[in-house]
Chain A
Amino acid sequence: MKKNKISINIISSFNHSNLVSLLKNNKSYDFEINEVNYNQVFQVLTNPKDKIWKKKSNISLVWTTPEDIFPEFKKLIYNKKINPDILKEQVVSFCSYLKSIKKNSDFVLIPNWVLKQPIESNIALGYSKSRGLDYNLSFINYILSEELNSEKNLHILNTNKWVSNCGVKNTYNSKLWYLMKCPFSNDFFKEAISDILNFYKSSLGFIKKLLILDLDDTVWGGIVGEVGWKKLRIGGHDYIGEAFHDFQTKIKSLKNHGILLAVASKNEESNATEAFSKHPEMVLTMDDFVTHRINWDDKAKNIAEMVKELNLGLQSVVFFDDSPFERERVREILPEVYVPDLPKDPTEYSNFLSKLRCFDLVHVTEEDKIRGDLYKSEFKRKKLKQNNKSLSKWIETLGLEIIIENINNKNSPRALQLLNKTNQMNLSTRRMTENEFQKWIQKKTNYLWTVRAKDKFGDYGIIGILSISVKEKNAYLVDFVMSCRVVGRFIEETIIQFLKDFCRKNNIKKINGTYIKTQKNTLCYQFLQKLKILKKDKNSFTLLPSKEKINIPNIKITKPKMLEKANVS
């Protein structure tokens, strides 16, 4: 199978040859590696003409150890007193070099600082401000985070997590250090590579969106139908109960980051809902789940139904169940669903979930935080639709309002997320990194708008983007992207009408466009067919702004001022 390519620059203060070899041997990705000899960090960061910057890369990894790059920090190794102000200056200056290279790659990744060899610091002085290694290590990492916090494509990787996963003993190898000047073990590098890959995949929107949970012995201890809700093991003075409590807390935190939750359980529904509503230690409530199937049917069938109902792809689903039988069944019937083997011991559930990493997001948008609520409102809308036979009448009953905004700092993370994650209603399926996106929208001849919608059931959030590139008197429709959960309620027609109005007012005669077919965007093609604008080749089309208006029901629209160019930095 052809592997995806990732180009990566490696700049480090130690011998990274083992890291390079492990990257080259990666089974899923084909790494194109550009490296400089170790300990050339400052020379490379301060030289914009260095050969490593000749070609823009996907990732630049700048991995240093503090003893090697901060002279003030090095004094601590000799137990000398340091000046915290000088140390801060050195760190800030290093961060300014990092900022200077951000244009050379899509992402700059910086593993936070750990010592290159473990040093047991003096019991009394470890956290002394002027002499303590531990204090100053935390201090420089704090400054690193403060300095890079607002930088969009500079990200700090959590090295301490890798140390924790490997254990200190397996992180370091003194032989490798003294013989090769490589401070870290290969197990440690594997952890790093896993995070680099997860970061990259997440930045492109390849994350899981829905976690489907079994109930008995998965989110609580015991079988509710047998022992009753009062005797379930959740919370209380019981180590298993506490483990389930922590597991539920972790699941709830995923929901707050925009991961949808659902239930697939073989139970009497009344027993399960009673447990959620009555057990005083329950962290999750039925309201946390966007949908559920609590019955005696086949779980694979139930899962497929729920995924269809939510308009998601099976590949964005994770299923948790303590039963190996149920897991195997779902794997067999729905191979796209990710079904990890839960540990046998529930006290390990919480850590297991943390280590999965498939839910890690690079940015958390406002829409992510309320995604569960958005889906719930959607169910209410669908119910209303069933009672209204005419589509236009239903739209009017909804009290739909569409807000079109210029791209700005606030809406750009969500716009990029939509661009990279939307498959079905997507004209060109353009995927971009943050840097590429920023560069594109900065161009004077490019226009990009976000589309937000709300109705009487709630705010949908930003559900679409539209972009054009203007040349002389012609516009080219570059992106027409809409979340499929809102398709079919005249929002897509409204956006097109907005575009026509915009172009007409700005003297643009034609809007050309091309439908780029993928395996998943037939929905977009059907919409273009419905507009009757496709040419004979069935891919290209032209919209004439001056031509008659599209027939749209009564929808309130808020538009930006015409020709206003957003200032996004």
Chain B
Amino acid sequence: MQDVIKKSIEQLNEVLTKDKKLVIKNSTPLIDEKSKLESIDIVNLFVNLEKNLKEKNNLVLTFDEILQNASKLKTIGSLEAFIIRKKNEKK
């Protein structure tokens, strides 16, 4: 698991109630019917992710990009794949 994703989810867990806290593994649902996250939690997650990616990888990820790709971000694993793709595109 990439550090930025791990850190962003840990930060999100700080504001999630016990029953909603995310287990950090590839199959954990994010933007999916099975997900326990509400829209406010998704905003928190991507705000964390955006900040951490900018600080650690100098990668700018806009919220529009996330919204456009929401259907591909069903799980933590697919989020990771998405970030790797963005990094490669940058190269």
Residue positions of A touching B, CB distance < 8 A: 17-18, 21-22, 24-25, 173, 175-176, 179-180, 186
Contact = CB atoms under 8 A, between A and B. Distances in A.
Interface residues of A, dominant DSSP: helix
Nearest to A15: B40
Contact of A21 (B17, B46, B47, B51): B17
A186 B52 CA distance: 14
B44 interface: yes
B23 interface: no
B16 interface: yes
B80 interface: no
18 contacts: A18-B44, A21-B14, A21-B15, A21-B16, A21-B17, A24-B17, A25-B15, A25-B17, A175-B43, A175-B46, A175-B50, A175-B63, A176-B44, A179-B47, A186-B11, A186-B14, A186-B15, A186-B44
Contact residues on B (Cβ < 8 Å of other chain), bracket: 10 to 19
Contacts of B46: 175
B17 A176 contact: no
A183 to B, nearest CB: 13
Nearest to B16: A21
B16 A179 contact: no
Contacts of A24: 17
Contacts of B17: 21, 24-25
Nearest to A18: B15
Contact of A179 (B11, B14, B51, B63): B63
Nearest to B51: A173
B43 to A, nearest CB: 5
Interface of B: 11, 14-17, 40, 43-44, 46-47, 50-51, 63
A180 B47 CA distance: 11
A25 B40 contact: no
Contacts of A18: 15, 44
Contacts of A179: 43, 47, 63
Contacts of A21: 14-17
Nearest to B50: A175
A175 B63 CA distance: 8
Given A21-B15, A22-B15, A179-B43, 15 more contacts: A17-B40, A18-B15, A24-B17, A25-B15, A25-B17, A173-B47, A173-B51, A175-B46, A175-B50, A175-B63, A179-B63, A180-B40, A186-B11, A186-B14, A186-B44
A176 B15 contact: no
Nearest to A19: B15
A180 B63 CA distance: 13
Contacts of A173: 47, 51
Nearest to B42: A179
A186 B43 CA distance: 13
B44 to A, nearest CB: 7
Nearest to A21: B15
A117 to B, nearest CB: 15
B74 to A, nearest CB: 21
A173 B47 CA distance: 8
A85 B17 CA distance: 46
